[in-house]
Chains A and B, each alone.
Chain A
Amino acid sequence: MNLTLTVNGEKRTVEVEDRTLLVHLLRDTLGLTATNIGCDTTSCGACTVLVDDDSVKSCTVLAASVADREVTTLEGLATGDDWHPVQKAFRDHHGLQCGFCTPGMVLAAVSLLKENPNPTREQVRAGLEGNLCRCTGYHNIVSAVVAAAEADK
Protein backbone atom coordinates (compact mmCIF):
# COMPACT_ATOMS: atom_id res chain seq x y z
CA MET A 1 0.00 0.00 0.00
CA ASN A 2 0.97 3.60 -0.53
CA LEU A 3 1.17 5.47 2.74
CA THR A 4 1.70 9.15 3.55
CA LEU A 5 2.48 10.36 7.05
CA THR A 6 4.54 13.01 8.79
CA VAL A 7 7.63 11.75 10.60
CA ASN A 8 9.63 14.18 12.74
CA GLY A 9 8.02 17.10 10.95
CA GLU A 10 8.76 15.84 7.47
CA LYS A 11 6.07 14.51 5.13
CA ARG A 12 6.98 11.03 3.91
CA THR A 13 5.33 8.81 1.33
CA VAL A 14 6.30 5.14 1.40
CA GLU A 15 5.30 1.86 -0.20
CA VAL A 16 4.81 -0.83 2.45
CA GLU A 17 2.99 -4.12 2.92
CA ASP A 18 -0.45 -3.77 4.53
CA ARG A 19 0.77 -5.80 7.50
CA THR A 20 3.75 -3.53 8.26
CA LEU A 21 4.05 -2.51 11.89
CA LEU A 22 4.91 1.10 12.68
CA VAL A 23 8.21 0.12 14.30
CA HIS A 24 9.34 -1.66 11.13
CA LEU A 25 8.32 1.28 8.97
CA LEU A 26 10.43 3.55 11.15
CA ARG A 27 13.47 1.30 11.48
CA ASP A 28 13.61 -0.61 8.21
CA THR A 29 11.93 1.67 5.67
CA LEU A 30 12.94 5.07 7.04
CA GLY A 31 16.20 4.06 8.78
CA LEU A 32 15.21 5.68 12.08
CA THR A 33 16.87 3.17 14.38
CA ALA A 34 16.68 5.06 17.69
CA THR A 35 13.36 3.30 18.19
CA ASN A 36 14.28 -0.10 19.60
CA ILE A 37 12.46 -3.41 19.54
CA GLY A 38 12.77 -5.00 22.97
CA CYS A 39 10.08 -7.50 23.92
CA ASP A 40 7.98 -7.15 20.76
CA THR A 41 4.93 -7.96 22.91
CA THR A 42 3.61 -4.53 24.06
CA SER A 43 5.33 -4.88 27.41
CA CYS A 44 8.74 -3.20 27.60
CA GLY A 45 8.11 0.16 25.96
CA ALA A 46 11.48 0.36 24.15
CA CYS A 47 9.60 1.00 20.89
CA THR A 48 7.60 3.94 22.29
CA VAL A 49 7.05 6.82 19.86
CA LEU A 50 4.59 9.70 19.76
CA VAL A 51 1.57 9.75 17.45
CA ASP A 52 0.07 13.26 17.54
CA ASP A 53 1.72 13.80 20.99
CA ASP A 54 0.40 10.55 22.49
CA SER A 55 2.88 7.83 23.44
CA VAL A 56 2.22 4.48 21.74
CA LYS A 57 4.12 1.21 21.46
CA SER A 58 5.09 1.08 17.82
CA CYS A 59 5.45 -2.72 17.83
CA THR A 60 1.67 -2.85 18.37
CA VAL A 61 0.45 -0.24 15.90
CA LEU A 62 -0.06 -0.84 12.20
CA ALA A 63 1.81 1.64 10.03
CA ALA A 64 -1.39 2.00 8.00
CA SER A 65 -3.24 3.15 11.12
CA VAL A 66 -1.13 6.31 11.38
CA ALA A 67 -1.60 7.44 7.78
CA ASP A 68 -1.77 11.25 7.60
CA ARG A 69 -0.78 11.60 11.25
CA GLU A 70 2.32 13.01 12.94
CA VAL A 71 4.86 10.57 14.32
CA THR A 72 7.75 11.70 16.51
CA THR A 73 10.75 9.49 17.23
CA LEU A 74 13.78 10.31 19.36
CA GLU A 75 15.55 11.60 16.24
CA GLY A 76 12.88 14.31 15.95
CA LEU A 77 12.95 15.56 19.52
CA ALA A 78 15.91 17.93 19.47
CA THR A 79 15.74 21.28 17.68
CA GLY A 80 18.98 21.32 15.71
CA ASP A 81 21.76 20.97 18.28
CA ASP A 82 19.46 22.08 21.07
CA TRP A 83 18.30 19.02 22.98
CA HIS A 84 14.78 18.65 24.30
CA PRO A 85 14.52 19.41 28.07
CA VAL A 86 13.80 15.74 28.78
CA GLN A 87 16.92 14.67 26.88
CA LYS A 88 19.02 17.20 28.80
CA ALA A 89 17.57 16.04 32.10
CA PHE A 90 18.33 12.38 31.34
CA ARG A 91 21.96 13.38 30.68
CA ASP A 92 22.25 15.67 33.70
CA HIS A 93 20.69 13.18 36.12
CA HIS A 94 22.31 10.09 34.66
CA GLY A 95 18.89 8.63 33.83
CA LEU A 96 20.38 5.79 31.82
CA GLN A 97 23.04 3.13 31.86
CA CYS A 98 23.05 0.82 28.84
CA GLY A 99 20.69 3.15 26.96
CA PHE A 100 18.52 0.55 25.25
CA CYS A 101 15.29 1.64 26.95
CA THR A 102 16.18 5.33 26.79
CA PRO A 103 14.55 6.42 23.50
CA GLY A 104 11.25 4.89 24.57
CA MET A 105 11.64 6.15 28.12
CA VAL A 106 12.30 9.72 26.94
CA LEU A 107 9.30 9.75 24.61
CA ALA A 108 7.04 8.23 27.28
CA ALA A 109 8.24 10.99 29.61
CA VAL A 110 7.52 13.69 27.01
CA SER A 111 3.97 12.34 26.63
CA LEU A 112 3.55 12.12 30.41
CA LEU A 113 4.66 15.74 30.91
CA LYS A 114 2.27 16.90 28.21
CA GLU A 115 -0.62 15.36 30.17
CA ASN A 116 0.70 16.27 33.61
CA PRO A 117 3.26 19.12 33.45
CA ASN A 118 3.97 19.02 37.19
CA PRO A 119 4.02 15.38 38.33
CA THR A 120 5.06 14.07 41.73
CA ARG A 121 7.70 11.33 41.87
CA GLU A 122 4.90 8.79 42.43
CA GLN A 123 3.01 10.08 39.40
CA VAL A 124 6.17 9.78 37.29
CA ARG A 125 6.60 6.18 38.40
CA ALA A 126 2.96 5.40 37.58
CA GLY A 127 3.19 7.30 34.29
CA LEU A 128 6.20 5.27 33.18
CA GLU A 129 4.66 1.92 34.12
CA GLY A 130 4.73 0.91 30.47
CA ASN A 131 8.52 1.24 30.16
CA LEU A 132 10.97 -1.24 31.61
CA CYS A 133 14.60 -0.44 32.48
CA ARG A 134 16.77 -3.31 33.64
CA CYS A 135 19.81 -1.18 34.57
CA THR A 136 19.01 1.89 36.60
CA GLY A 137 16.43 0.85 39.17
CA TYR A 138 14.44 3.84 37.86
CA HIS A 139 15.56 6.27 40.59
CA ASN A 140 17.55 8.55 38.30
CA ILE A 141 14.98 8.29 35.54
CA VAL A 142 12.34 9.62 37.91
CA SER A 143 14.73 12.38 39.01
CA ALA A 144 15.32 13.31 35.37
CA VAL A 145 11.63 13.57 34.55
CA VAL A 146 10.91 15.67 37.64
CA ALA A 147 13.86 17.93 36.76
CA ALA A 148 12.62 18.26 33.17
CA ALA A 149 9.25 19.38 34.51
CA GLU A 150 10.98 21.98 36.70
CA ALA A 151 13.17 23.16 33.81
CA ASP A 152 10.11 23.71 31.64
CA LYS A 153 8.47 26.19 34.07
Chain B
Amino acid sequence: MIPAPFDYVRADDAAAALAALAEHGDEAKLMAGGQSLLPLMKLRLAMPTVVVDVSRARDLAGVRRDGDAVVIGALTRHCDVATDEVLGSELPMLAHVASLVGDPQVRHRGTIGGSVAHADPSADLPTALLALGASYVVRGPGGDREVAAEEFATGFLETVLEPDEMLTEIRVPTGVTGWGYEKFTRRAIDWATVAVAVARRDGETKVALANMGPTVLRAQAVEAALAGGAGGRDAAAYADEGTSPGNDVTASSDYRRHLARVLTQRALDAL
Protein backbone atom coordinates (compact mmCIF):
# COMPACT_ATOMS: atom_id res chain seq x y z
CA MET B 1 0.00 0.00 0.00
CA ILE B 2 1.21 3.48 -0.78
CA PRO B 3 -0.28 6.87 0.10
CA ALA B 4 -2.03 9.02 -2.49
CA PRO B 5 0.35 11.55 -4.07
CA PHE B 6 1.30 14.59 -2.02
CA ASP B 7 3.99 17.24 -1.92
CA TYR B 8 6.56 16.77 0.84
CA VAL B 9 7.73 19.79 2.80
CA ARG B 10 10.32 19.51 5.55
CA ALA B 11 10.09 22.00 8.42
CA ASP B 12 12.99 21.87 10.85
CA ASP B 13 11.58 24.30 13.39
CA ALA B 14 8.23 25.62 14.57
CA ALA B 15 8.49 28.82 12.53
CA ALA B 16 9.03 26.87 9.30
CA ALA B 17 6.10 24.59 10.12
CA LEU B 18 3.75 27.50 10.79
CA ALA B 19 4.89 29.19 7.56
CA ALA B 20 4.11 26.00 5.61
CA LEU B 21 0.68 25.75 7.24
CA ALA B 22 -0.02 29.41 6.44
CA GLU B 23 0.93 28.82 2.82
CA HIS B 24 -0.98 25.57 2.24
CA GLY B 25 -3.97 25.98 4.57
CA ASP B 26 -6.10 22.97 5.34
CA GLU B 27 -4.69 21.02 2.38
CA ALA B 28 -1.60 20.47 4.52
CA LYS B 29 -1.10 18.00 7.33
CA LEU B 30 1.69 18.07 9.90
CA MET B 31 3.53 14.78 10.24
CA ALA B 32 5.56 14.11 13.38
CA GLY B 33 6.67 10.47 13.63
CA GLY B 34 3.95 9.46 11.17
CA GLN B 35 3.09 6.33 13.12
CA SER B 36 -0.64 7.09 13.08
CA LEU B 37 -0.89 9.37 10.06
CA LEU B 38 0.99 7.18 7.56
CA PRO B 39 -1.19 4.09 8.15
CA LEU B 40 -4.27 6.28 7.56
CA MET B 41 -2.69 7.69 4.39
CA LYS B 42 -1.84 4.20 3.12
CA LEU B 43 -5.48 3.21 3.55
CA ARG B 44 -6.47 6.49 1.83
CA LEU B 45 -8.48 7.43 4.91
CA ALA B 46 -6.33 10.57 4.98
CA MET B 47 -5.28 12.21 1.71
CA PRO B 48 -3.49 15.48 2.44
CA THR B 49 -2.02 17.09 -0.66
CA VAL B 50 0.87 18.55 1.34
CA VAL B 51 2.71 16.76 4.14
CA VAL B 52 4.78 19.01 6.41
CA ASP B 53 7.38 16.80 8.10
CA VAL B 54 8.23 18.25 11.52
CA SER B 55 9.99 15.16 12.85
CA ARG B 56 13.30 17.03 12.92
CA ALA B 57 12.05 20.22 14.58
CA ARG B 58 14.62 20.12 17.34
CA ASP B 59 13.32 23.29 19.00
CA LEU B 60 10.18 21.30 19.83
CA ALA B 61 11.86 18.23 21.33
CA GLY B 62 13.08 17.73 24.87
CA VAL B 63 11.96 17.92 28.47
CA ARG B 64 12.53 20.75 30.96
CA ARG B 65 11.40 21.78 34.42
CA ASP B 66 9.41 25.02 34.69
CA GLY B 67 8.48 25.84 38.29
CA ASP B 68 5.84 23.39 39.46
CA ALA B 69 5.48 21.85 36.02
CA VAL B 70 7.43 19.80 33.54
CA VAL B 71 7.30 20.97 29.94
CA ILE B 72 7.64 18.39 27.18
CA GLY B 73 8.28 19.45 23.60
CA ALA B 74 5.65 18.11 21.21
CA LEU B 75 8.27 16.38 19.07
CA THR B 76 9.75 14.38 21.95
CA ARG B 77 9.70 10.73 20.93
CA HIS B 78 8.01 8.08 23.08
CA CYS B 79 11.34 6.32 23.66
CA ASP B 80 12.79 9.59 25.00
CA VAL B 81 9.77 10.28 27.22
CA ALA B 82 10.09 6.73 28.59
CA THR B 83 13.75 7.16 29.55
CA ASP B 84 13.94 10.87 30.43
CA GLU B 85 15.51 11.49 33.86
CA VAL B 86 13.39 14.52 34.74
CA LEU B 87 10.19 12.65 33.94
CA GLY B 88 11.49 9.57 35.71
CA SER B 89 11.78 11.50 38.96
CA GLU B 90 8.95 14.06 38.62
CA LEU B 91 6.30 12.21 36.60
CA PRO B 92 7.15 8.50 36.54
CA MET B 93 3.60 7.72 35.42
CA LEU B 94 4.17 9.48 32.13
CA ALA B 95 7.49 7.72 31.52
CA HIS B 96 5.85 4.37 32.28
CA VAL B 97 2.90 5.00 29.99
CA ALA B 98 5.21 6.09 27.14
CA SER B 99 6.97 2.73 27.47
CA LEU B 100 3.64 0.98 26.78
CA VAL B 101 2.87 2.73 23.48
CA GLY B 102 2.93 0.40 20.46
CA ASP B 103 6.29 -1.37 20.29
CA PRO B 104 9.96 -0.30 20.31
CA GLN B 105 9.93 0.56 16.61
CA VAL B 106 6.85 2.76 17.00
CA ARG B 107 8.37 4.39 20.09
CA HIS B 108 11.53 5.22 18.11
CA ARG B 109 9.47 7.30 15.65
CA GLY B 110 6.25 8.33 17.38
CA THR B 111 6.05 11.53 19.43
CA ILE B 112 3.98 12.65 22.39
CA GLY B 113 2.67 15.69 20.51
CA GLY B 114 1.76 13.58 17.51
CA SER B 115 -0.22 11.26 19.74
CA VAL B 116 -2.04 14.15 21.43
CA ALA B 117 -2.81 15.97 18.18
CA HIS B 118 -4.01 12.77 16.49
CA ALA B 119 -6.62 12.47 19.28
CA ASP B 120 -7.28 8.77 19.02
CA PRO B 121 -9.53 7.91 21.98
CA SER B 122 -7.65 4.64 22.54
CA ALA B 123 -4.21 6.27 22.80
CA ASP B 124 -2.21 5.83 26.01
CA LEU B 125 -0.50 9.19 26.44
CA PRO B 126 -3.55 11.47 26.03
CA THR B 127 -5.30 9.34 28.65
CA ALA B 128 -2.43 9.67 31.10
CA LEU B 129 -2.14 13.40 30.38
CA LEU B 130 -5.85 13.89 31.06
CA ALA B 131 -5.51 12.24 34.48
CA LEU B 132 -2.38 14.28 35.16
CA GLY B 133 -4.19 17.58 34.50
CA ALA B 134 -1.91 18.54 31.60
CA SER B 135 -2.38 21.51 29.33
CA TYR B 136 -1.37 21.87 25.72
CA VAL B 137 0.41 24.90 24.25
CA VAL B 138 -0.88 25.68 20.77
CA ARG B 139 0.95 28.09 18.49
CA GLY B 140 -0.65 29.92 15.59
CA PRO B 141 -0.19 33.10 13.58
CA GLY B 142 -1.43 35.17 16.55
CA GLY B 143 0.92 33.59 19.09
CA ASP B 144 0.53 30.93 21.77
CA ARG B 145 -2.59 29.78 23.60
CA GLU B 146 -2.90 27.15 26.31
CA VAL B 147 -5.68 24.56 26.18
CA ALA B 148 -6.62 22.29 29.09
CA ALA B 149 -6.41 18.58 28.24
CA GLU B 150 -10.17 18.27 28.93
CA GLU B 151 -10.95 20.78 26.20
CA PHE B 152 -8.49 19.64 23.53
CA ALA B 153 -10.21 16.72 21.82
CA THR B 154 -13.62 17.59 20.39
CA GLY B 155 -14.49 14.28 18.73
CA PHE B 156 -13.03 11.15 17.18
CA LEU B 157 -9.63 12.26 15.78
CA GLU B 158 -10.79 15.88 16.08
CA THR B 159 -9.32 18.65 18.20
CA VAL B 160 -9.50 22.40 18.78
CA LEU B 161 -6.44 22.87 16.53
CA GLU B 162 -7.11 25.23 13.63
CA PRO B 163 -5.55 24.41 10.24
CA ASP B 164 -2.91 27.10 10.75
CA GLU B 165 -2.02 26.05 14.30
CA MET B 166 0.31 23.46 15.78
CA LEU B 167 0.82 21.86 19.16
CA THR B 168 4.21 22.93 20.47
CA GLU B 169 4.43 21.93 24.14
CA ILE B 170 2.78 19.83 26.78
CA ARG B 171 2.77 21.23 30.33
CA VAL B 172 2.23 18.80 33.15
CA PRO B 173 1.98 19.93 36.79
CA THR B 174 4.14 17.93 39.19
CA GLY B 175 3.30 17.02 42.79
CA VAL B 176 1.65 13.69 41.96
CA THR B 177 1.49 11.61 45.13
CA GLY B 178 0.02 8.43 43.68
CA TRP B 179 -0.82 6.98 40.29
CA GLY B 180 -1.91 3.89 38.44
CA TYR B 181 -2.24 2.89 34.80
CA GLU B 182 -4.04 -0.22 33.57
CA LYS B 183 -4.22 -1.13 29.89
CA PHE B 184 -6.00 -4.13 28.44
CA THR B 185 -4.98 -5.44 25.03
CA ARG B 186 -5.41 -8.79 23.29
CA ARG B 187 -1.89 -8.58 21.84
CA ALA B 188 1.09 -6.66 23.21
CA ILE B 189 1.25 -4.13 20.39
CA ASP B 190 -2.46 -3.37 20.10
CA TRP B 191 -4.14 -0.10 20.89
CA ALA B 192 -5.90 -0.28 24.25
CA THR B 193 -9.22 -2.13 24.21
CA VAL B 194 -9.74 -0.03 27.33
CA ALA B 195 -7.20 1.75 29.50
CA VAL B 196 -7.55 3.65 32.76
CA ALA B 197 -5.22 6.27 34.21
CA VAL B 198 -5.50 7.61 37.74
CA ALA B 199 -3.41 10.31 39.36
CA ARG B 200 -3.67 11.83 42.86
CA ARG B 201 -2.51 15.32 43.72
CA ASP B 202 -3.35 17.42 46.81
CA GLY B 203 -5.79 14.74 47.98
CA GLU B 204 -7.77 14.91 44.73
CA THR B 205 -7.88 11.91 42.39
CA LYS B 206 -8.43 12.25 38.64
CA VAL B 207 -9.49 9.24 36.62
CA ALA B 208 -9.27 9.09 32.81
CA LEU B 209 -10.51 6.44 30.40
CA ALA B 210 -9.27 5.38 26.96
CA ASN B 211 -11.58 3.96 24.31
CA MET B 212 -14.80 4.46 26.24
CA GLY B 213 -16.15 7.08 23.81
CA PRO B 214 -15.15 9.24 20.84
CA THR B 215 -12.48 11.02 22.90
CA VAL B 216 -10.47 10.20 26.00
CA LEU B 217 -12.76 10.88 28.96
CA ARG B 218 -12.69 11.77 32.64
CA ALA B 219 -14.60 9.24 34.77
CA GLN B 220 -16.38 11.99 36.66
CA ALA B 221 -18.71 9.71 38.61
CA VAL B 222 -15.72 7.80 39.97
CA GLU B 223 -13.96 11.03 40.89
CA ALA B 224 -17.10 12.32 42.66
CA ALA B 225 -17.50 9.07 44.60
CA LEU B 226 -13.86 9.19 45.71
CA ALA B 227 -14.21 12.85 46.70
CA GLY B 228 -17.26 11.85 48.76
CA GLY B 229 -15.21 9.32 50.68
CA ALA B 230 -16.03 6.10 48.80
CA GLY B 231 -13.38 3.38 48.69
CA GLY B 232 -11.79 2.31 45.42
CA ARG B 233 -13.96 -0.77 45.01
CA ASP B 234 -17.21 1.18 45.43
CA ALA B 235 -16.07 4.11 43.31
CA ALA B 236 -14.86 1.88 40.46
CA ALA B 237 -18.41 0.58 40.00
CA TYR B 238 -19.25 3.96 38.41
CA ALA B 239 -16.41 3.82 35.85
CA ASP B 240 -18.64 3.36 32.80
CA GLU B 241 -21.23 5.95 33.84
CA GLY B 242 -21.73 8.55 31.13
CA THR B 243 -19.54 6.69 28.62
CA SER B 244 -20.40 5.45 25.11
CA PRO B 245 -17.93 2.65 24.34
CA GLY B 246 -17.78 1.25 20.84
CA ASN B 247 -18.98 -2.18 19.79
CA ASP B 248 -16.46 -3.66 17.35
CA VAL B 249 -14.41 -6.68 16.39
CA THR B 250 -12.11 -6.23 19.39
CA ALA B 251 -14.77 -6.01 22.09
CA SER B 252 -18.47 -5.46 22.64
CA SER B 253 -19.54 -2.25 24.34
CA ASP B 254 -20.73 -4.28 27.36
CA TYR B 255 -17.33 -5.91 27.65
CA ARG B 256 -15.67 -2.51 27.49
CA ARG B 257 -17.92 -1.29 30.30
CA HIS B 258 -16.88 -4.33 32.34
CA LEU B 259 -13.21 -3.68 31.59
CA ALA B 260 -13.54 -0.02 32.60
CA ARG B 261 -14.87 -1.01 36.03
CA VAL B 262 -12.28 -3.74 36.63
CA LEU B 263 -9.33 -1.72 35.36
CA THR B 264 -10.40 1.36 37.34
CA GLN B 265 -10.44 -0.71 40.51
CA ARG B 266 -6.98 -2.09 39.75
CA ALA B 267 -5.62 1.38 38.93
CA LEU B 268 -7.06 2.78 42.17
CA ASP B 269 -5.57 -0.15 44.10
CA ALA B 270 -2.14 1.05 42.89
CA LEU B 271 -2.52 4.47 44.54
- Show the binding face of A for B, using Cβ within 8 Å: 1, 17-21, 24, 40-43, 45, 48, 51, 54-57, 60-62, 64-65, 67, 108, 111-112, 126-127, 129-131
B84: which A residues are within 8 A, CB to CB? none
What is the bound-complex CA distance between A33 and B83, given in angstroms?
A: 34
Q: Give the residues in chain A near B188, CB-CB below 8 Å.
A: 126, 129
Given contacts A40-B1, A130-B189, 6 further A-B contacts (CB under 8 A): A19-B2, A57-B109, A60-B109, A108-B105, A126-B188, A130-B106
**Chain B residues closer than 8 Å to A62, beta-carbon distance:** 8, 31, 34, 38, 51, 53
With A40-B42, A41-B39 known as contacts, the answer to whether A19 contacts B3 (CB < 8 A) is: yes
Residues on the A chain within 8 Å of B102, using CB: 42, 130
List 8 tightest A-B contacts by C-beta distance, closest first: A130-B103, A18-B8, A54-B108, A129-B188, A57-B105, A130-B105, A19-B3, A64-B8
Flag if A65 contacts B34 (CB, 8 Å): yes
CA distance A62 to B31 in the complex (A): 10
Contact residues in A for B10 (Cβ distance below 8 Å):
64, 67
In the complex, which of the residues B6, B39, B105 contacts A19, with contact meaning CB atoms closer than 8 Å? B6
Known: A43-B189, A55-B108, A130-B189. A60 touches B5 (CB 8 A): no
Per-residue interface assignment for chain B, residues 49 to 64, with 1 indicating a CB less than 8 Å from any chain A CB and 0 otherwise: 0010101000000000
Task: Report A37 CB to chain B, min CB distance, Å.
Answer: 9
- Report how many A-B pairs have Cβ atoms within 8 Å: 84
Beta-carbon contacts under 8 Å, B20-69 to A:
31, 34-35, 38-39, 42, 51, 53, 55
Chain B residue contacts of A64, Cβ below 8 A: 8, 10, 53
- On chain B, the number of residues with a Cβ less than 8 Å from chain A's Cβ atoms is 28
Interface residues of B (CB under 8 A from A): 1-8, 10, 31, 34-35, 38-39, 42, 51, 53, 55, 79, 102-106, 108-109, 188-189
Known contacts A18-B7, A40-B42, A62-B34; is A48 also within 8 Å of B2 by CB? no
B31 neighbours in A (Cβ, 8 Å):
62, 65
A42 to B51, CA, bound (A): 20
Chain A residues closer than 8 Å to B42, beta-carbon distance: 40-41
Contact B53 A112 (CB under 8 A): no
Q: Which residues of B contact A48 (CB under 8 A)?
A: 105
Residues of B contacting A17 in the complex (Cβ-Cβ under 8 angstroms): 5
